[in-house]
Chains A and B, each alone.
Chain A
């Protein structure tokens, strides 16, 4: 994805390298932005901002590995997306009691879905649910950490995650029915 010499070229400020970086990473980072941002338009905006920061701060990146560089860019994208939506998280706070149940995913069903289907389901999650779900299920943060980052209570993070799971399961179930039909 990212060529090994690209980082050094970026540090040198070579303009073509920036374009190469955008072409090489934008589709993946757009996925990240799409998950954490409020909308597709916001995702585009977040991605632009993320690249601007990458360009300006590339000199501060001390690593050499392309994977580490991508992880750094991904982190910037997530930060920006969450920052832009920070005020919305409170609004979608719901208590665990409101959810009322915790249904488990069926790994077999999930694995039967292709990536596009799975991501489309994630994208379709309501704001707040989607971010908490992604932070918990994909990034691996604890609810305490998610609460710290989003400025919500840990219990709220937990409840949102459970609600997100429920919504996902319902969507997956619908997809299964659609497939069967």
Chain B
């Protein structure tokens, strides 16, 4: 054909507009388009994981505070003290309950601001329900957990007040000690001092020059009426300071002589308990980095609708490997929360035999093309093909786990539950389309759901910080490509190491 004539046809062809009902066309296109992949943003996973860790640390600290405040308060002279209402020289702030002990003539706590025990308004009863010595002018207030009076340990915030009212003397001893202080009343107190007695000058003395023991005596009353407070402060582990408060009420003439009461704030007991707790916790070392590597088996199952059976027939279960790291944090007792990264790679055999047609880009076009459409640049290739290839699927997940540890000597068992959110995915291989023809996995858009599962961890303690770990886990995740829903099950077995820090 002459070039001139060809040009006439080409020009006509290339510039000719055929009228199209665009609305119908757009509607038809919309109907044929695959459902859009739901964009799920998992960026919130990171802050959520961070929040969990921070929350766990916070909770841990709160729990730790309950056990350690007393220890720290005892070791810190600012927070552990004995305050006696002093008539003359002491600088007492009734609002803050602080007093400068610079007026103490003796002792080693000069110039120390003391906050506890506090001087409190005279009270004539024991406010704590477990305390029954109201006639003794001891007030134990603000208990938070349990109180031990007369051999009953008190764990909680305790304000202990001794008020002594006598002739020209008033002595109020308040001990406010943080949560883990143990208050022990070792001796019953006598009758209370009559209220009409005038305040009595009380001079507080530090009888011992070391911090371990301080005794404050009321010198203005007879020896038998002396109020004695002995403080033994012990800081757990680090300071090794004992604190003990023994308060003797002022014996008022004949009324109190027969009765003697000592309130022993046995911080020592409490401290030792807190110390044990701390050591126990120290032994646990709540934060642990776990590194796993193992093998998995990937099993796909499809529903019976649509192309499920065809896909199921084409896909054979395979093996793969997985690995990951996890930060596990002991939040409460044996309960731990973990967050980390999991990488899972699974191989499944895709087996298919038949004929189909692809275009020049090797994209599937159709099946059952009877003639050869071979071309290197245009149109189609008809292929008779047997596909026997591994489908490779990889997922990067962020697992969040909750586990419960049970120790048996050096061994420990740790069952748990986890949910792992997909951060990234890679899929390579084939699937089967609606016609039962293999399609490149890349031609599908997937909605990959979170992986949920249960695990059983086993560990062997090698050293204080190092553990040998084993983990069996079974997890499932749902993958939906808009055509059929696939449930990918992944039983896996992992070995790893854990390091506590």
Chain A residues within CB distance 8 Å of chain B: 18-19, 22-23, 26-28, 30-32, 34-35, 44-45, 47-49, 51-52, 55-57, 60, 75, 79, 82-83, 86-87, 90, 104-105, 107, 110-111, 115-116, 118-119, 122, 134, 136-138, 140-141, 145, 148-152, 165
Contacts and interface: CB of A to CB of B under 8 A. Distances in A.
A104 B373 CA distance: 30
A86 B366 CA distance: 12
A138 B17 contact: no
Interface string B55-83: 00000000000000000000000000000
B2 interface: yes
B13 A134 contact: yes
A111 B9 CA distance: 9
A11 B10 CA distance: 30
- 9 closest Cβ contacts across the A-B interface? A151-B371, A27-B17, A30-B18, A48-B28, A115-B12, A118-B12, A149-B379, A31-B18, A26-B20
B365 A79 contact: yes
Given A35-B13, A83-B366, A119-B12, A44 B28 contact: yes
Contact of A149 (B9, B11, B14, B373): B373
A138 B12 CA distance: 9
Given A56-B34, A82-B379, A115-B15, A22 B373 contact: no
A48 B32 contact: yes
B357 interface: yes
B343 to A, nearest CB: 26
Given A118-B12, A148-B375, A55 B33 contact: yes
A52 B365 contact: no
A155 to B, nearest CB: 15
Nearest to A90: B371
Interface in B348-380: 357, 359, 361, 363, 365-366, 369-375, 378-380
B32 A22 contact: no
> Dominant SS at the B interface?
mixed
A123 to B, nearest CB: 9
B8 A60 contact: no
Contact of A107 (B4, B20, B25): B4
A155 B13 CA distance: 25
Contact of B378 (A45, A75, A86, A111): A75
Contacts of A75: 378
A45 B346 CA distance: 39
Given A44-B24, A118-B8, A149 B375 contact: yes
A48 B2 contact: no
B9 A118 contact: yes
Interface in B401-430: none
A62 to B, nearest CB: 11
Interface residues of B, number: 44
A31 B17 CA distance: 6
A40 B68 CA distance: 85
A138 B373 contact: no
A56 B22 contact: no
Given A55-B33, A137-B6, A137-B9, A151 B26 contact: no
Contacts of A32: 13
Contacts of B16: 28, 31, 115-116, 119
B206 to A, nearest CB: 78
B12 A52 contact: no
Select the residue from B13, B28, B363 with max chain A CB neighbours within 10 A: B13
A31 B13 contact: yes
B152 interface: no
B370 A34 contact: no
A105 B13 CA distance: 17
Given A27-B19, A55-B33, A111 B8 contact: yes
A82 B25 CA distance: 20
B238 interface: no
Given A30-B20, A44-B24, A105-B2, A145 B369 contact: no
Contacts of B19: 27, 30
Contacts of B371: 86, 90, 150-152
B10 to A, nearest CB: 5
B8 A110 contact: yes
Contacts of B361: 60
20 contacts: A18-B29, A23-B22, A26-B25, A27-B18, A30-B18, A44-B25, A44-B28, A48-B28, A52-B29, A56-B443, A79-B380, A86-B369, A87-B370, A118-B9, A119-B18, A138-B9, A138-B13, A145-B378, A148-B373, A151-B373
B20 A105 contact: no
Contact of B5 (A28, A48, A110, A122): A110
A102 B373 CA distance: 28
Contacts of B5: 105, 107, 110, 137
Contacts of A44: 24-25, 28
Given A30-B20, A57-B363, A83-B365, A137 B15 contact: no
Contacts of A145: 375, 378
Given A30-B19, A122-B13, 10 more contacts: A19-B26, A28-B14, A32-B13, A48-B32, A51-B25, A83-B369, A110-B5, A119-B16, A140-B6, A149-B378
Nearest to B21: A44
A56 B29 CA distance: 12
A116 B29 CA distance: 27
A80 to B, nearest CB: 8
Contacts of B373: 86, 148-151
A26 B371 CA distance: 30
A52 B33 contact: yes
Contact of B1 (A18, A56, A86, A136): A136
A74 B422 CA distance: 39
Contacts of A49: 32
A151 B372 contact: yes
